Each structure stands twice: as C-alpha cells, then as structure tokens.
C-alpha cells in the first residue's frame, strides 16, 4: 500500500511500475517487522548468509559477482541538457539519447521479481538541511543497506509533504548484472538517477555518492549550499567546548581513520575527546548566525574492510559488531564470523573466500577478501558518535581541511591566507599514486576537493560556487588548511607517525581558529612554528618537525607548472580569482 498521498510520487511510481512490470510492488515502511521478513527471505534464497548471532548479532554476509565489485567511473554519466554543463571531468550524454538507450533495458526488467519502493531521508527527519529520495529496486540487498545508510521508511515522507516535487527519483534494477550494459546515470535537471546491471553498493545505494554528492552538489549550487566529500568531526577540550572541522581527502589517505580518531594519551589524560559526526559526506548551509553549519546526510558507514583493525581504526571495527552487512569479505567457517586482510595476523584455515571458494588463509596465495570489500554499519554503533549526530540544525564549522598523499612537496600543515586562497588550495589538491592503484607509482593525480568523480556539474562552475559561498559567509567563513601525513625520508619511510597522533596537528588548527596560536608566513601560506606542534612522547625531535614543515622552492615551482596544466582543462570557466592565486604563488616562489 502506498505510504504517501503525494501525487508527484504516486504518478512517477506508477510510470516506473508500468515500465519495469514487476510481479508485485512492496512499499518499504521501515518497520522492524517488515525488515525482519526481508532478512529471512534473503537468507532463505541464499542472497545473504546469517553470521554467528552471539558474536555478531544481526550481522549478514553477502557476495557480489566477480564482475561487480566497485564503482565504475567509465559507466557513470552526467546527463545535463548542455554538454558544457557537465564539464571536462565528467562523462556526458544527451538526456534524450540516454533515456532512449536505457528505457528498453528497463522494459519488463522486473518480470518475476518484486519492486521495492524505498522512501528515505538524507539527513535527520524534519531538518531543513535534509532532502528526500525514493529508490525503486528489485534487490533486497539494496533495501537492507538503505535501511542502515539512510533514514528509511514512512517518516521520510514527512519532510516532503503532499504537494512538493522536490524529491530525487532513483530507479535501480540489477537486471542481469551484465558489465557491458551497466550504467549509473544522473539527470541533474530532472532530479533523477537510473542504475542498471549492477548489484554493488556504490552503484546501487542511490542515496550515497549518486544523490548525496552528484545530484546534491548541483542542487547546492542552485540553492546556495554545498554538498562535499568531507568527514565531520568535533574536538572537545577539557572545558567541554567543541570545535567542529570538516576534511576532504582522496581515497587511501586515511579519511575514515581521521573521522574516528582516538586522542593520543597526552591529550586523553587532559580530558580531550574526539566526536564523529560523519566519515564521508557533509552538507553545509549558512545558519541563522551567518556561520556555516554541516550535517552528515547519511545514517551509517559504508567502509572499506581490508586494513581496518584495532590499531588502524578501533572505532570503525567496533561499529561493525552488530546489525552490519559485510560484502565480499572472507567467511570464517570455524566460528561463522568474517575475516579480511589486515584484520589480524591469524587468517582462518577453514574459510570461504569472497568468490565463494574454499580458502585456507595460512596456505593460500589468493586474498580471502576483495581489496574493496565493505561493511555497512549503523552510525549509532560507533563508540565516538557525536551527540549532535541527529541535530537537525547541524554543527557550526570552524575549519576545513584538504589533504593528499605527497612524498616531498606539501608540508605537514599550512593555512590559507584567505578564503579565495583556500579555494585555490582545495582546487589544486593532489595525491601521488600508490601501489594500490594500477599504473605507475608516484604520479601526481589532481582531485579537487576530493570531488573529481562526484561533482554533478562543470568543475569550473563548482570552483565559482565555492568562491560565492565565501563572499556570502564573509568573515564568518571557516578557516582553510592543508595537511600531509605522508612525507617520506630518502628511504621512502613515513616521517610523521600518523593515526591518532594526527590530533597534534589538529590542535594547532583548532588553536588558530580560536586565535590562540601563532603562525609564520611562507610562500605557500601560514605554517606553525615547529615548537607549536606538540611532540611530547613521540619518537621525533624538533629538527624533524622543521623538516616536515620545510617548503622546497624548486619542488613548488614544479607544482605550479602542474597546476597550470590542470587549470588549462577548464578554459574560460576557470574563475579569475584562482588564476590570480596561482600568479601570487609563482611570485612568492620567485622572491
């Protein structure tokens, strides 16, 4: 039975039912009773496996097909009416052409299947910062994941009301999971996402990157807010005051680890605490007081399992202990639990690998878990989840941090001279490739604001929107910083200890925001004095910190050349203030 009287929703659902021709239509109300029966059905059909309910209560295991294990950038499209609106960093196709190509693929695709109608809210129900989506899918896996990742069910329609047309229409069918006909397509002007022939989370949980970044970034540009690929964390001092920070990093730069950071002993003893508001996405809007406020539109974590362990991310691991869905990890048959590379040093001898084959972790040369295997865990499981997590107003942001993986160029930390300079820093963000990716190691890849694969419109217009937001916020704009935990010595070893000790750098950032720390001007921005980074209890000395903060003029001249090349992509869409910032950088380096 329909859960809303909203004609816009009902008409669209009817149209999609007529197209896909499911045997039955089930509206997802979000009740535990309905979810329990779907879990039972998924276990009965073998789509999911129930894990040890004593050790992992409410947890399930799922495997995707071998051809369907990650987001596919090459099959992801932005279909704006004008090609130039998609810009040089997105795959574009004319919407009419794409609808004409995909409509026949959806015709009758759900015959013999059930269509699930999933209403969901991105952000707390009732929040003015939240937005509503409806996803139609033929996958129970999608329903159960959306339950963890969003505020799913009947209550989501409360935000929409009976007349609004402001909801994102998501249509997903796993179809035949055929990689040759796999499409993840966004129609920003129609508030619509179509996904077909995939059953992997990143391509089918349409609330995640598809809505919360690609569509939402376009909405934010038009409506005066921002959708960013950023974690949100709060640092509470011993007096109980909390400073909130957002941070953007390309993948493999420790974003989730930073979001759930555990303070080192030196700060813990003094009573400092770190609170997680979000690990992946931030929606930011100016509040009544003129400051920028952030919500995490999601309700769970869709984390990469391999490498997650007690040392690297204790809080993330704790989050997976109940009501979690594991995808493409190894199934430990010894006690019906899960295992992945980097979890511990004791791989199970009797297990099933992510391909569904018998696996002995002690003798096999094959990996037990896929490198992109995942856990979908409720945010409320996280031991350091912020009490402001469900605050409909969001949290006020004092600092924004950009970062990447640079062996020699970027110093440990520096602050931008202004908002415009900060946008320049974010727009030129880069990481050097690691052995994890195919191709050459150490190649500089630019990933502006970590949004390269996720910006739903022209990146030059996106930079302009950042600059406009700065004008709107004026002197209440957050301060912008850049960090680099990945400086290496001549043998290639990391110099900075990283993990929890990154808090030592965050403390300088917080003090800068609160007017309590000094800085030194360099050609690239403001840096701490070496003695302002607390290294008490670390195995490094002041000279090492000086090295970590060193700005190598020759390397930065090379960097400026790389930025010129990158900026050339955007032609006359590159905002003039960014050209000016690049000229300032070069002038500073030549002084």
Active site residues: 253
Tell whether 29 is in a known binding site: no
Which residue, among 571, 580, 170, 235, has the nearest Cα to 401 in the 3D structure?
A: 235
CA distance 120 to 358: 38
CA distance 99 to 212: 22
Tell whether 278 is in a known binding site: no
Tell whether 583 is in a known binding site: no
Helix 419-427 to helix 459-473 angle (10° resolution) is 160
CA distances from 509 to 79, 101, 255, 341 (A): 40, 50, 17, 34
Burial degree of 523 (CB within 10 A; 0-12, 13-18, 19+): middle
Tell whether 229 is in a known binding site: yes
CA distance 102 to 478: 43
CA within 13 Å, CB half, 471: 8
Q: What kind and span of H or E run contains 584?
A: helix 576-590
Tell whether 151 is in a known binding site: no
Tell whether 191 is in a known binding site: no
Tell whether 63 is in a known binding site: no
Cβ of 314: how many Cβ atoms within 10 Å? 17
Tell whether 252 is in a known binding site: yes
Cβ of 543: how many Cβ atoms within 10 Å? 9
Tell whether 442 is in a known binding site: no
Strand partners for 77: 91, 185
Q: Which residue has the tokens 């039972």?
A: 40
Tell whether 200 is in a known binding site: yes
CA 478 to chain CA centroid, Å, is: 20
Cβ of 321: how many Cβ atoms within 10 Å? 14
C-alpha torsion sign, points 93, 94, 97, 98 = positive
Tell whether 253 is in a known binding site: yes
Tell whether 279 is in a known binding site: no
Tell whether 90 is in a known binding site: no
Tell whether 255 is in a known binding site: yes
Tell whether 445 is in a known binding site: no
Tell whether 372 is in a known binding site: yes
- Binding-site residues from annotation for GTP: 252-257, 374, 405, 499-502
- Binding-site residues from annotation for substrate: 71, 200-202, 251, 372-374
- Binding-site residues from annotation: 71, 200-202, 209, 229, 251-257, 280, 372-374, 405, 499-502
- Binding-site residues from annotation for Mn(2+): 209, 229, 280
């Amino acid at each position: 039975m329909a859960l809303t009287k909203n004609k816009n929703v009902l008409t669209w659902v009817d149209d999609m039912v007529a197209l896909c021709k499911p045997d039955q239509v089930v509206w997802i109300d979000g009740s535990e009773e309905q979810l329990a029966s779907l879990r039972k059905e998924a276990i009965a059909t073998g789509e999911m496996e129930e894990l040890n309910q004593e050790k992992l209560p409410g947890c399930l295991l799922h495997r995707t097909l071998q051809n369907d294990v990650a987001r596919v950038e090459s099959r992801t499209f932005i279909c704006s009416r004008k090609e130039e609106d998609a810009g040089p960093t997105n795959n574009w196709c004319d919407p009419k052409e794409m609808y004409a190509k995909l409509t026949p693929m959806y015709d009758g695709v759900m015959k013999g299947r059930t269509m699930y109608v999933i209403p969901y809210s991105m952000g707390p129900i009732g929040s003015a910062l939240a937005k509503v989506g409806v996803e139609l899918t033929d996958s129970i896996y999608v329903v159960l994941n959306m339950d963890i990742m969003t505020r799913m069910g009947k209550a989501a329609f409360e935000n929409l009301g009976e007349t609004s047309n402001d909801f994102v229409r998501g249509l997903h069918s796993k179809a035949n999971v055929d990689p040759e006909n796999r499409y993840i397509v966004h129609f920003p002007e129609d508030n619509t996402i179509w996904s077909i022939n995939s059953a992997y989370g990143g391509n089918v949980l349409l609330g995640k990157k598809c809505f919360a970044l690609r569509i939402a970034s376009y909405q934010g540009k038009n409506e005066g807010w921002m959708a960013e690929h950023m974690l949100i964390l709060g640092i509470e001092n011993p007096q109980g005051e909390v400073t909130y920070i957002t941070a953007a990093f390309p993948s493999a730069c420790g974003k989730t680890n930073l979001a759930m950071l555990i303070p080192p002993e030196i700060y813990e003893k003094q009573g400092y605490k770190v609170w997680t508001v979000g690990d992946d996405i931030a929606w930011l809007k100016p509040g009544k007081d003129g400051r920028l406020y952030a919500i995490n539109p999601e309700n769970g974590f869709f984390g990469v399992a391999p490498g997650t362990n007690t040392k690297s991310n204790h809080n993330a691991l704790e989050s997976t202990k109940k009501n979690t869905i594991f995808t493409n990890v190894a199934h430990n048959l010894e006690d019906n639990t899960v295992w992945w590379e980097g979890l511990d040093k004791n791989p199970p001898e009797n297990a099933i690998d992510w391909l569904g084959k018998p696996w002995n972790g002690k003798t096999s040369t094959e990996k037990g878990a896929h490198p992109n295997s995942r856990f979908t865990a409720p945010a409320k499981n996280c031991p350091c989840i912020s009490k402001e997590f469900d605050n409909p107003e969001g949290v006020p942001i004092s600092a924004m941090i950009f970062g990447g993986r640079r062996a020699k160029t970027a110093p440990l930390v520096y602050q931008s001279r202004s908002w415009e300079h900060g946008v320049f820093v974010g727009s030129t963000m880069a990481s050097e490739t690691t052995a994890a990716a195919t191709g050459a190691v150490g190649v500089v890849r630019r990933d502006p604001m970590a949004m390269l694969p996720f910006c739903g419109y022209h990146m030059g217009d996106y930079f302009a929107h950042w600059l406009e937001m700065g004008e709107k916020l004026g002197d209440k704009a957050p301060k912008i910083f850049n960090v680099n935990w990945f400086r290496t010595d001549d043998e290639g070893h990391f110099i900075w200890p990283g993990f929890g000790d990154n808090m030592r750098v965050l403390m300088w950032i917080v003090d800068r925001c609160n007017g309590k720390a000094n800085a030194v001007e360099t050609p690239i921005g403001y840096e701490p004095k070496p003695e302002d980074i607390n290294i008490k209890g670390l195995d490094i000395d002041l000279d090492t910190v000086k090295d970590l903060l060193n700005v190598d003029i020759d390397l930065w001249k090379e960097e400026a050349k790389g930025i010129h090349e990158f900026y050339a992509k955007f032609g006359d869409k590159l905002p003039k203030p960014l050209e000016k910032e690049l000229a300032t950088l070069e002038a500073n380096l030549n002084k």
